Amino acid sequence: MDAVESALLAEDRAATQAASERVIGGLMTVLGAPPVRVEVLAARPHARWGELHGLYTAERGRRPKIQLWMRTAKQKRVVAFRTYLRTLLHEVGHHLDYTVLRLEESYHTEGFYKRESSLFHQLVTDLRRSAMPTMEEYAKQPREQRLKRLERTADELAGAIRGQSDAALARRPDAKNWAPKEVVCHLRDTEELFKARFDTILATDNPPIAPPDPDRWAEERQYLRNDAGEAAGAFRRRREETLAFMKKLASADWERGGTHPVRGKVTLDAFLTLMAWHDDNHLDQLRRALEGKA
């Protein structure tokens, strides 16, 4: 796995592909699965529905193929190692569904995502964020416990940036990753998006859920020109509104949801899980960015 991460950091597409093929070749041998090609391409294709991270194809008479894109669509940044690995293993999941489990279709079920996470944690043994609950672990927590996690985030966010100069908050750890204030602005704007989705889900039966484009937001909304303290304050106000909304939901309301183009139906309860994990992920990203680490 070190070779894959090193190749990504070096922004070397050919080396990333070669290292990925070695990893997946070994994994297929261990799992007793047929071989699958890995092709690494440049910037992700994108449309109104969002960016395409990976693609699995299998044509008669040809070896199945996994395609991944190593750069974001808008800003052409090389994706983070963990994101890349998750995408790679996601497509491996489709390969296993078709070739090992012999399924006619490969759906994004709860079991599918559990297998993806299991492979991820078996391959990456030295996780920098090992103490951080996974999405699956959060989903198993009582709803009240997940709500308490959301209640802590505004204070943790304010504490992380307290006393930091604007220069430190605007400094990116490298050319590809967000500066601390960009992370704060992302949390602020995503909170607004979450609340808008929740209002729509309560008002409409199973509405479509369009994925956001965070890199486009960062560019168009000029995150680096924002005041981090004001952004954190706006996040706090929006989070308080979200929590007030959630605490008034009836039991049946938590099962209402919308349809995501990739994940399928996502309930309000699943959104709560996602938000808890999302908070952890970006608070960790913020702290690492302040340390000059990607």
Say which CATH number the domain at 253 has.
Answer: 1.20.120.450
Residue 130 placed within a domain: no
H or E element, residue 32: none
Residues 277 and 164 in one domain: yes
Residues 272, 203 share a domain:
yes
Residues 285, 183: contact at Cβ < 8 Å?
yes
- Domain-terminating residue out of 123, 151, 166: 123
The verdict on 141 and 285 lying in the same domain is yes
Q: Which domain holds residue 241?
A: 135-290
pLDDT for res 131: 57
Asked whether the predicted pLDDT for residue 234 surpasses 60, the reply is yes
Same domain, yes or no: 147 and 216: yes
Of 123, 148, 166, the position where a domain reaches its end is 123
Structurally, the chain folds into a number of domains equal to 2
| Interstrand relation of 65-71 and 37-43 (parallel, antiparallel or unpaired) | parallel
Say if 246 falls within a structural domain.
yes
pTM for this one?
0.61
Domain with residue 27: its CATH number is 3.40.390
In a domain, 277, yes or no: yes
Domain end among 123, 155, 186: 123
Phi/psi of residue 57, nearest 5 degrees: -135, 145
Which amino acid type is present at position 64?
P
Residues 148, 115 share a domain: no
Distances in Å between the Cα of 60 and the Cα atoms of 57, 64, 103, 142, 215 are: 10, 9, 16, 46, 37
31-85 pLDDT per residue, tens: 999 999 999 998 888 777 678 889 999 988 899 999 999 988 777 888 888 889 9
- Residue 14 sits in the same domain as residue 149: no
- Residue 293: its pLDDT value, please? 83
Residue 70: strand, helix, or coil: strand
Q: Are residues 195 and 280 in the same domain?
A: yes
pLDDT band at residue 128 using 50, 70 and 90 as cut-offs: very low
Cα–Cα separations (whole angstroms), residue 145 to 35, 140, 222 = 43, 10, 35
Pair 144, 74 in one domain: no
